[in-house]
Amino acid sequence: MTERTRELPMTADQDRFTAETERFRRELLAHCYRMAGSAQDAEDLVQETYLRAWRSYAGFEGRASIRSWLYKIATNVCLTAAQPRRIRVLPSGLSEHYDGPDRPPSHVGPGEVSWLEPLPDRWVADDPAATAVARESLRLALVASLQHLPARQRAIVILRDVLAFSAAETAEVLGTTTAAVKSGLQRARARLDEREPEREQLLEPADPRARALLEGYIAAFERSDPALLEQVLRTDATLEATPFREWYAGRVRCIHVLGTYVLGRPGDWRMSSTTANGQPAAAVYHRDDSGGYHPHGIVVLAPTSTGISRVVEFHDPALVVLFGPPPGSPDEAFE
């Protein structure tokens, strides 16, 4: 139960409500994340979902399953929250890759863009089998593409193609007609195909090849060694990082940017492996002038059988806190 649920007055139905609804919390969190593109927003949306569900629980008559009822509430909470907000994007959602004169990446000003956030895998499943089922629908590229759909189309394609709701069930959730759902789904699929016509087959994070690519990427940073990056990046690899406007395509350009503006000296960086969006990832720490290491952000990799095809770095210390300290290390990681 969340803190907000605990604050509610206890009644005879409280235990039954918890028993019937809590088992869906993780999948509802994944649903809200797909809708909102932010792990922190998803947490708030799920809390609001459970608050509304509790308030209307006495009137739940069981004509639909408890799961469908919760998804109806959660989807409508997400749609209401989406109305005044800008969509969350990655740099690749703003423009074509940068191919101009050599210069440092430029920051996007505060408040100019709402950035997509990664999702810690541990938030959505503690069962590896369940994680595998949800993993494909949480890939970073897909979630980024979903954000470019109108909110109701986003909801339709998630309910139909990810959660396998029927057209009739989806219409019930959204308070619309089956015909409108079918039409919206067709438009949504077409727009997704335009943004990502061929979805890559990524290696699972537990695959030894994926682990080796992550370890190689971490070693390249910790040793400040561009040659190691050449061993793990594909020739057509892309590199993007928030909150920077430019993003880069091609291994040569990516390595040049990282080597010139990022890697620094051996020991400047420390990384701890994790997983995000069903992909290998690392929590990133940077050394300051006094020699101490401080949270810097999260990097998410797209591993394929021929190397890393995409690197997305989220330069936000708060995300390191969100993902939690490295397993087996003290809270003051690397100090």
Encode pLDDT of 183-227 as tens digits.
999 999 999 998 876 788 999 999 999 999 999 999 999 999 999
DSSP 203: P
Residue 134 resides in a domain: no
Q: Are the CB atoms for 295 and 274 separated by under 8 Å?
A: no
For residue 237, is pLDDT > 90? yes
94 and 240 part of one domain: yes
Maximum distance among all Cα pairs of the chain, rounded to whole angstroms: 68
For residue 116, is pLDDT > 80? yes
33: nearest Cα among 182, 104, 139: 139
> How many domains are there within the chain?
3
229 and 279 part of one domain: yes
Q: Are the CB atoms for 27 and 42 separated by under 8 Å?
A: no
Q: Is the CA virtual torsion 27, 32, 37, 41 positive or negative?
A: negative
Among 180, 198, 216, give the residue marking a domain's end.
198
Task: Supply the pLDDT for residue 12.
Answer: 60
Task: Read off the pLDDT of each residue in 162-190 and give the average, rounded to a whole number.
Answer: 96
Which tops the pLDDT comparison, 100 or 84? 100
120 and 244 part of one domain: yes
74 and 192 part of one domain: no
Please give the Cα distance from 145 to 40 (Å, whole number).
Answer: 19
Task: Supply the pLDDT for residue 5.
Answer: 46
14 and 81 part of one domain: yes
Residue 207 resides in a domain: yes
94 and 79 part of one domain: no
Residue 167 resides in a domain: yes
From its phi and psi, is residue 328 left (phi > 0), alpha (psi between -120 and 50) or beta? left
Residue 261 to residues 102, 104, 255, 272, Cα–Cα distance (Å): 11, 7, 10, 22
Residue 24 resides in a domain: yes
Residue 131 resides in a domain: no
Q: How confident is the model at residue 330 (pLDDT cuts 50, 70, 90)?
A: very low
Task: Read off the pLDDT of each residue in 35-47 and give the average, rounded to a whole number.
Answer: 96
Task: Supply the pLDDT for residue 331.
Answer: 45
Please give the Cα distance from 88 to 150 (Å, whole number).
Answer: 12
CATH number at residue 178: 1.10.10.10
52 and 145 part of one domain: no
User: Which tokens belong to 328?
Assistant: 């087996």
Look over the chain and give the mean of its residue pLDDT values, rounded to a whole number.
90
Residue 237 to residues 43, 213, 240, 248, 304, Cα–Cα distance (Å): 32, 13, 10, 8, 11
Task: Read off the pLDDT of each residue in 66-86 and give the average, rounded to a whole number.
Answer: 93
Residue 135 resides in a domain: no
User: Which tokens belong to 262?
Assistant: 């990022």
Q: Please return the burial class of 175, using the count of CB atoms within 10 Å of its CB with bins 0-12, 13-18 and 19+.
A: exposed
Residue 257 DSSP SS3: helix
CATH number at residue 43: 1.10.1740.10
Q: How confident is the model at residue 60 (pLDDT cuts 50, 70, 90)?
A: confident
310: nearest Cα among 236, 243, 206, 209: 236
- Cβ contacts of 12 within 8 Å, gap of 6 or more: none
Q: Are the CB atoms for 303 and 213 separated by under 8 Å?
A: yes
303 and 313 part of one domain: yes
Task: Supply the pLDDT for residue 8.
Answer: 47
153 and 79 part of one domain: no
For residue 1, is pLDDT > 50? no
For residue 293, is pLDDT > 80? yes
For residue 138, is pLDDT > 90? yes
Among 173, 198, 223, give the residue marking a domain's end.
198
Instruction: Kindly report the number of other CB atoms within 10 A of residue 241's CB atom.
Output: 21
174-183, 195-204, 310-319: segment of lowest average pLDDT = 195-204
Question: Considering the entire predicted model, what is its pTM?
Answer: 0.91
Which tops the pLDDT comparison, 327 or 269? 269
Task: Supply the pLDDT for residue 75.
Answer: 98
Please give the Cα distance from 130 to 121 (Å, whole number).
Answer: 11
For residue 127, is pLDDT > 80? no
Residue 309 corresponds to which amino acid? Answer: S
DSSP 302: E
Residue 132 resides in a domain: no
Which tops the pLDDT comparison, 128 or 177? 177
155 and 286 part of one domain: no
Q: How confident is the model at residue 15 (pLDDT cuts 50, 70, 90)?
A: confident
Q: Are strands 279-287 and 233-242 parallel, antiparallel or unpaired?
A: unpaired
Q: What is the residue range of 104's domain?
A: 87-125+203-335
The string of pLDDT tens digits covering residues 86-105 is 899 999 999 999 999 999 99
163 and 51 part of one domain: no
Which tops the pLDDT comparison, 3 or 223? 223
Residue 326 to residues 50, 148, 168, 284, Cα–Cα distance (Å): 31, 33, 45, 10
325 and 215 part of one domain: yes
Task: Supply the pLDDT for residue 10.
Answer: 54
For residue 6, is pLDDT > 50? no
For residue 120, whether the previous peptide bond is cis, meaning omega lies within 30 degrees of 0, is: no
Which tops the pLDDT comparison, 43 or 129? 43
